[in-house]
């Protein structure tokens, strides 16, 4: 157990150092107010957290994951386009990023419970990243980089907020279809 903790700390430190190096280089090469930097400042941490999740999973309290009554039927998420996001993420090249977020072949309570936990884990990672990226948006606004702020917010919504909403939408459907707890 101790060895795993040391490995997680080392992996986290390495991911932070590499991510910061890439972002500092990108800011210098392309400009911190550029569209490419706005994209990469969202993409690079997301990839780093995705890679780190292989070693240590980011978790939020169960009360965060509890679905609110307005979320349970899915209409709220459908109105903001989650079904389109779902179709984009399930097909094409983006599907490779979360291959374990599909219904298991064996739909036993244990397998469905593991799927629900993987959904909560993915949701937690994207939720934390969404909030963290808002600081980057705030920094761009404070510097007067209006386009960079708008693009960073757009990329953050597409790459982090939509996956959060998608996982909440999917967990509601899973709970309804298989009578699972919604937390």
Tell me the pLDDT of the chain averaged across its residues: 89
Q: Please tell me the pTM assigned to this model.
A: 0.87
How far apart are alpha carbons 169 and 171 in whole angstroms? 6
Break the chain into its structural domains and give their ranges: 2-178
How far apart are alpha carbons 37 and 151 in whole angstroms? 9
pLDDT confidence of residue 80:
95
Percent of the chain residues topping a pLDDT of 90: 62
Task: Estimate to the nearest angstrom the gap between the alpha carbon of 68 and the chain centroid.
Answer: 20
More confident residue, 151 or 86: 151
- Per residue in 105-155, pLDDT tens? 888 888 998 999 999 999 999 999 999 999 999 999 999 999 999 999 999
pLDDT confidence of residue 177:
83
Residue 13 token pair: 């430190």
pLDDT confidence of residue 98:
76
């Amino acid at each position: 157990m101790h060895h795993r903790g040391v490995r997680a700390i080392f992996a986290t430190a390495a991911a932070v150092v590499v991510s910061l190096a890439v972002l500092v280089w990108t800011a210098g090469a392309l400009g911190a107010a550029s569209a490419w930097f706005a994209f990469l400042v969202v993409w690079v941490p997301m990839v780093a957290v995705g890679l780190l999740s292989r070693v240590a999973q980011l978790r939020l309290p169960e009360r965060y994951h509890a679905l609110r009554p307005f979320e349970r039927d899915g209409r709220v998420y459908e109105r903001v386009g989650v079904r389109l996001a779902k179709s984009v993420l399930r097909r094409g090249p983006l599907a490779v990023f979360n291959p374990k977020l599909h219904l298991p072949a064996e739909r036993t309570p244990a397998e469905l419970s593991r799927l629900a936990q993987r959904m909560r884990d993915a949701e937690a990672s994207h939720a934390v990243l969404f909030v963290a990226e808002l600081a980057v948006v705030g920094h761009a606004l404070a510097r007067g980089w209006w386009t960079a702020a708008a693009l960073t917010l757009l990329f953050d919504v597409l790459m982090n907020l939509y996956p959060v909403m998608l996982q909440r939408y999917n967990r509601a459907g899973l709970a309804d279809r298989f009578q699972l707890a919604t937390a």
